[in-house]
Amino acid sequence: MSNDSPNTAPHAVLRQRQDFQFDIDFGAPRPTLLADENPPLGQGAGPSPVQLLCAAVGNCMADSLLFALRKFKQQPEPITCEVRADIGRNEQNRLRVLGLDVALTLGVPAAQLEHLDRVLAQFEDFCTVGMSVAQGIPLRLSVKDAAGQPLK
């Protein structure tokens, strides 16, 4: 799911503040975001690049689920999403994101939502960021309702 206009390419401009800290400018009127590596490289003054990746994937997946449910005039709010990155070393002993675990939780019990099976079967396909990332990094997705009942 992407809210960016098809006439302008999504962009960000990064400017080094100091060491591993970068101000990320998304263009007006959006606020600038400070990113920083975690210690020992950085000071952890802002989200790390891996945390930003987790946030981008999670935000897009949650948006896609919400959009799909709202198409059927359903109200699943508040949706929460937790994304955990599996970091490890590749064959060249370089640190890599080896996988992402995405856990979506609906804000209501599944019984309150109509067409949920249909939504769960297709909402991922509309997630621009998640499905793009999944071409190179395995995504493991789970969805549960407000009562903790596993749905996917």
Domain residue spans of the chain = 1-47, 49-144
Question: Is residue 2's pLDDT more than 60?
Answer: no
Q: In terms of Cα–Cα distance, which of 99, 107, 59, 65 is closest to 82?
A: 59
* Residue 8, pLDDT score: 78
| Cβ atoms within 10 Å of 69's Cβ, excluding its own | 23
SS3 79: coil
C-alpha–C-alpha distance, residues 23 and 93, integer Å: 30
pLDDT in tens, 136-151: 999 999 999 999 999 9
pLDDT in tens, 50-109: 999 999 999 999 999 999 999 999 999 999 999 999 999 999 999 999 999 999 999 999
The CATH code for residues 49-144 is 3.30.300.20
Grade residue 122 by pLDDT with cuts at 50, 70 and 90: very high
